[in-house]
Amino acid sequence: MIAIELQGRKALITGGDSGLGAATAKSLAQAGADVAITYRYESKAAEQVATVVQSFGVKAYAFRLDNISQKEDVDALFRQVDQELGGLDILVNNAGTDGPRALCADSDVAAWRQVVEIDLFGPYYCAREAVARMGRQGRGVIVNTSSVHEFIPWAGYSAYTSAKAALSMFSKTLAQEVAAQGIRVLAIAPGAVKTPINANVWQDPKGLADLDGKIPMGRVGEPDEIGHAIAFLCSDLASYITGITVPVDGGMLLYPDFRQGG
């Protein structure tokens, strides 16, 4: 039987207190990994995720990371990782934000910059720390959470789409740099998944119908469907996959409007 086996692996997931991060924490724990999550404000939610992780018989850690776009905060996080985990095999750069919706000409410069700093600089700061540690042990996997919007333009979210497209090329370039050290680097591109980031859309019947219409499979995804994909990508079953963005999107990238006509 083939199974996803992560026993003995140590994983760090940023933004693990909700949404895709929380689901990923569960999936990695189910596959046997010890899991550390970071959170910014929601210590209660982080504790709940840690309890779920522990229920699979593995170790759980919840670290407060104040600002992922501040290098000093990320450095402090990795000192905690060194002290408490004593190694790192898996980094899931999950923490992110889509920012306020505004057309480019109307957008607030500081808000635009903040999205790029969280969605691009955050993963960069974490990845450089992770690579230093993984390189020493000769193995590791980094998964960067991109979006279908690294491919699909999205009016009103130019900072988000730009940051995700940049994160994709960052992943590829880093993958090229570290492949010989036994480190794989991937990006994952979730489509529309039921998480807090888009709850205002999928909780509204009209918004949900509009979203479903953009997805050939006809339904919004569940967080576990992303968590399980990440667990697979982090496992040795995916040992020959690196430097690519893997869409997990129910077919959202398939130009569904071309099902008819054209």
Of all helices (H) and strands (E), which one includes residue 64?
strand 60-64
Q: Give the residue numbers annotated as catalytic, written as ranges.
A: 160
- Taking the complex as a whole, the smallest distance from the CB of residue 195 to ligand BGC amounts, in Å, to 8
Q: Is 147 in the site for ligand BGC (CB under 6 A)?
A: yes
Q: Is 191 in the site for ligand BGC (CB under 6 A)?
A: yes
Give the residue, chosen from 9, 149, 194, 228, that forms a contact with ligand BGC under the rule CB under 6 A.
149
Least gap, CB of 92 to ligand BGC (angstroms): 16
Give the SS3 label for residue 93.
strand
The contact pattern for ligand BGC, residues 73-102, with x = CB under 6 A and - = no contact, is: -------------------------x----
Nearer to ligand BGC, 169 or 199 (CB): 199
Query: Residue 164 is encoded by which pair of tokens?
Result: 């995700």
Residue given tokens 């794989």 in the structure block = 184
Question: Interacting stretch for ligand BGC, rule CB under 6 A, among 62-70, 112-120, 145-153, 171-179?
Answer: 145-153
Compute the distance between CA of residue 69 and CA of residue 75 in angstroms, rounded to an integer.
Answer: 11
Residue 18 or residue 147: which is nearer to ligand BGC going by CB?
Answer: 147
Task: From 20-28, 191-199, 224-232, 237-245, give the range in contact with ligand BGC by CB under 6 A.
Answer: 191-199
Q: Collapsing DSSP states into helix, strand and coil, what is residue 58?
A: coil
The footprint of ligand BGC (CB under 6 A) covers: 98, 147-149, 191-192, 197-198
